[in-house]
Amino acid sequence: MRPSTIAIDGPAASGKSTIGYHLADCLGYLFLDTGVLYRAVTWVAQDRGIPVEAEDQITRLGEDVEIEVLPSAATDGRQNTVKVDGRDVTWEIRSPRVERDVSPVAAYPGVRHALTKRMREIACKGYVVMVGRDIGTVVIPDADLKLYVVASAGVRAQRRYMELREKGKDVSYEQVLAGIHQRDRIDSSRATAPLRAAADGITVDTTDLSVETMFAEVERLVNQYDAVKCEQGVRNESSRV
């Protein structure tokens, strides 16, 4: 039997989206990188000149704004096409400006509540790989398979730095590392749905893994799904004694 709902969480640039996209592709499942929803709300707030401190206004955006996450048709490296009120913002939501404000926006409980509702509507249909910070702990705590993808901050910053340089962005490694540390801190310490591994999640450390090895490792976990479930059942049984 294959897992129908797969939840993948982890800090910035740990490899979770790359893994999630690959698994969805292999299994023929829907792929949803939930970070794009928080990024889209942050982008609209900035576009409308709403300051990041305006929690009530930003919460209303989270509730009302039309966000579409579509399968990617373009061949420019995108995993999905993201539209806000019909406008393609796929690359704009990746800008340093959005990146600077997205974690404070994602810490607002009302924004999380509104976006979590949208995510659950998608998850309940099954056959989905969903990626984020709180998918296995809050959004779909009953997901069939939960992965928690980690890597050292230095390696994560190097990966993100290379991605940005390839897109022609003028950033330094030190700036990227500082941004990653800051988002890790906000995402892990917020009161609502902080970043953490689910108790029944499997941690995959990608620090020293090539993309090929990383794919092989997660494919092994999916293929061993029945065995993994069984092992977890035994572990839960013994912890209850």
Give all strands of the β-sheet with 67-71 in edge-to-edge order.
Answer: 67-71, 80-84, 87-88
**Under rule CB under 6 A, residue 35 binds ligand CDP:** yes
**Under rule CB under 6 A, residue 101 binds ligand CDP:** no
For ligand CDP, give the closer residue by CB, 189 or 224: 189
**Under rule CB under 6 A, residue 15 binds ligand CDP:** no
Q: Which stretch binds ligand CDP (CB under 6 A): 120-128, 131-139, 142-150, 199-207?
A: 131-139
Binding mask 167-186 for ligand CDP (x = CB under 6 A): ----------------x---
Binding mask 41-80 for ligand CDP (x = CB under 6 A): ----------------------------------------
Pairing of strands 67-71, 80-84: antiparallel
**Under rule CB under 6 A, residue 123 binds ligand CDP:** no
- Is residue 65 left, alpha or beta, with left meaning phi > 0 and alpha meaning psi from -120 to 50? beta
Tell me the closest approach of the beta carbon of residue 219 to ligand CDP, in angstroms. Answer: 22
Place of tokens 């000149």: 49
Q: How far apart, in whole angstroms, are the C-alpha atoms of residue 31 and residue 90?
A: 15
Tokens of 34: 């939930």
For ligand CDP, give the closer residue by CB, 188 or 213: 188
Residue 75's Cβ-count burial label (10 Å; 0-12, 13-18, 19+) is exposed
**Under rule CB under 6 A, residue 19 binds ligand CDP:** no
For ligand CDP, give the closer residue by CB, 146 or 183: 183
Dihedral sign, Cα of residue 198, residue 12, residue 149, residue 37: positive
**Binder of ligand CDP out of 3, 15, 90, 134 (CB under 6 A):** 134
**Under rule CB under 6 A, residue 164 binds ligand CDP:** no
Q: How far apart, in whole angstroms, are the C-alpha atoms of residue 216 and residue 194?
A: 29
**Binder of ligand CDP out of 3, 15, 20, 132 (CB under 6 A):** 132
Tell me the closest approach of the beta carbon of residue 107 to ligand CDP, in angstroms. Answer: 7
For ligand CDP, give the closer residue by CB, 115 or 228: 115
**Under rule CB under 6 A, residue 156 binds ligand CDP:** no
**Interface with ligand CDP (CB under 6 A):** 12-13, 17, 34-35, 38-39, 102-103, 106, 132-135, 183, 187
